Amino acid sequence: MWHMGDGWGWWMLSGTVMMAGFWIAIFWALAAINRRPPDASVERSGRAEPTALEILERRYARGELSDDEFEAMRRRLTK
């Protein structure tokens, strides 16, 4: 009389396809997050901040320090 059973197979199939698509999207998003390149500020050693000697060398390379100032500070740091 009401024919409630007609067509349930198609709804179940579309629901299954949508659920599979949902899980595929979740797994794809997780894989994309894991494939993301590491932060550029973290160096190979795993430190996020440069050492005092690295900062000194960068300042010298930029021309902020004279040769004498650089050598004096480098000697103090490497004692």
Which pLDDT value is given to residue 40? 53
**Does residue 29 fall inside a structural domain?**
yes
Total count of domains within the chain: 2
Percent of the chain with pLDDT over 70: 75
| Residue pair 66/74 in contact by the 8 Å Cβ criterion | no
pLDDT digits 0-9 by tens, 9-24: 667 778 889 999 999 9
Which pLDDT value is given to residue 39? 63
Maximum alpha-carbon separation in the chain: 100
User: Same domain for 60 and 33?
Assistant: no
**Does residue 42 fall inside a structural domain?**
no
Percent of the chain with pLDDT over 90: 51
**Does residue 79 fall inside a structural domain?**
yes
Which pLDDT value is given to residue 2? 59
pLDDT digits 0-9 by tens, 26-46: 999 999 888 877 665 555 556
Secondary structure class of 21 (helix, strand, coil): helix
